[in-house]
């Protein structure tokens, strides 16, 4: 796709390499980017606590991981036949209490190691709108379909977002001073909040991020939201719900990301990996034919050659 007007992006000073270890946190768009990294066999972990949308909830989890603060019975509750935690996504919820706590605390331990080892952290914010639990007074990451009358809905100010971002960076850099940060805002529109409210929410995120003086804090801003709004100004770039970016849009935003944030030395390797991935996805008419046997043999040879150079790459 060629566009006459493109959102300007400066070449990232700390490009991602194949030896890089990436931790991606945030909204569902973080999952889209994470899937791309995984497809090209980079070392990435995406949302160990599930999808998290707002800056304060992400900060709270990073703080818990930094302090190695284990989850206890006081942090969980039973609802609709499952045990939940307001700090994590419902995909982690579990019918057994002890198993749930064990799984959560294992995530704490694993995430602590990830923060220490990560060369890059990619954090995607989705919304400034948050829900505060009336009983605890705390902002939650997920309401888990608990009745809405148990929460107060509010919007985070740009100042609160700015401080939350700084806190998140500081916590990670205390244990990993060499970690580089890439922040972005999800292009997914939260229309359930309303059209005007969604724009207000994104504006607060943008203001908070840019007020954080990212360039002076070993950090950078990738304009995925702006690319979606200003370059892909057409509903053909959305899925059927007209809210989420289509695969075409995700592919395009990934292209803009990779050409500016991934080291050029990775591109030949990525091309090799894509060739192998397409080969693995190929479904032959006759699996027993000589031609397909030769095709499979060559594919395995390519995989082994790549693995000898990069042992971390597994298909």
Express each pLDDT in 169-180 by its tens digit: 999 999 999 999
pLDDT at 96 over 90: yes
pLDDT at 55 over 70: yes
pLDDT at 288 over 70: yes
The predicted pLDDT at position 3 comes to 59
Four-CA torsion 103, 104, 106, 109, nearest 10 degrees: 170
When pLDDT is averaged across residues 142-156 and rounded to a whole number, the result is 97
CATH class for domain 21-262? alpha beta
Q: How far, in Å, CA of 183 to CA of 175, rounded? A: 19
Closest CA to 181 of 17, 23, 34: 23
> Which tops the pLDDT comparison, 296 or 52?
52
pLDDT per position as a tens digit, 219-267: 999 999 999 999 998 888 989 888 889 999 999 999 999 999 999 999 9
The predicted pLDDT at position 193 comes to 87
The predicted pLDDT at position 4 comes to 58
Domain boundaries along the sequence of the chain: 21-262, 266-315
pLDDT per position as a tens digit, 1-31: 655 578 999 889 999 999 999 999 999 888 9
pLDDT band for 144, please (50, 70, 90 cuts).
very high
The predicted pLDDT at position 101 comes to 98
Average pLDDT, the chain: 93
Closest CA to 174 of 269, 66, 89, 80: 66
pLDDT at 294 over 90: no
When pLDDT is averaged across residues 212-224 and rounded to a whole number, the result is 86
Closest CA to 2 of 256, 188, 239, 238: 256
pLDDT band for 78, please (50, 70, 90 cuts).
very high
Kindly state the helix (H) or strand (E) to which residue 261 belongs, with its residue range. helix 247-261
The predicted pLDDT at position 1 comes to 61
pLDDT at 146 over 70: yes
Closest CA to 167 of 126, 128, 217: 217
DSSP code for 221: E
């Amino acid at each position: 796709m060629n566009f006459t007007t493109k959102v300007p992006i400066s070449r990232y000073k700390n490009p991602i390499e194949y030896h890089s270890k990436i931790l991606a946190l945030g909204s569902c768009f973080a999952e889209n980017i994470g899937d791309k990294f995984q497809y090209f066999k980079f070392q990435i972990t995406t949302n160990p606590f599930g999808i998290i949308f707002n800056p304060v909830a992400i900060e709270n989890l990073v703080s818990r991981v930094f302090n190695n603060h284990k989850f206890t019975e006081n942090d969980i509750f039973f609802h609709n036949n499952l045990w939940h935690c307001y700090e994590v996504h419902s995909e982690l919820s579990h019918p057994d209490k002890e198993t749930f706590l064990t799984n959560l605390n294992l995530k704490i331990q694993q995430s602590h190691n990830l923060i220490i080892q990560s060369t890059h952290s990619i954090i995607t914010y989705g919304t400034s709108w948050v829900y505060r639990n009336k009983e605890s007074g705390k902002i939650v990451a997920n309401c888990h379909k608990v009745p809405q009358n148990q929460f107060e809905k509010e919007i985070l100010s740009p100042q609160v977002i700015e401080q939350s971002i700084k806190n998140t960076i500081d916590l990670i850099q205390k244990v990993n001073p060499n970690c580089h940060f890439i922040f972005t805002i999800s292009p997914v529109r939260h229309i359930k909040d309303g059209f005007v409210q969604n724009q207000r929410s994104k504006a607060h995120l943008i203001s908070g991020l840019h007020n954080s003086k990212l360039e002076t804090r070993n950090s950078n801003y990738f304009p995925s939201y702006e690319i979606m709004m200003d370059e892909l100004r057409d509903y053909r770039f959305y899925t059927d719900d007209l809210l989420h970016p289509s695969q075409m849009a995700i592919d395009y935003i990934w292209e803009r990301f990779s050409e500016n944030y991934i080291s050029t030395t990775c591109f030949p390797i990525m091309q090799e990996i894509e060739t192998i991935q397409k080969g693995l996805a190929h479904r032959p008419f006759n699996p027993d034919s000589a031609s397909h046997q030769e095709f499979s043999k060559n594919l395995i040879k390519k995989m082994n050659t790549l693995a000898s150079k990069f042992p971390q790459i597994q298909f």
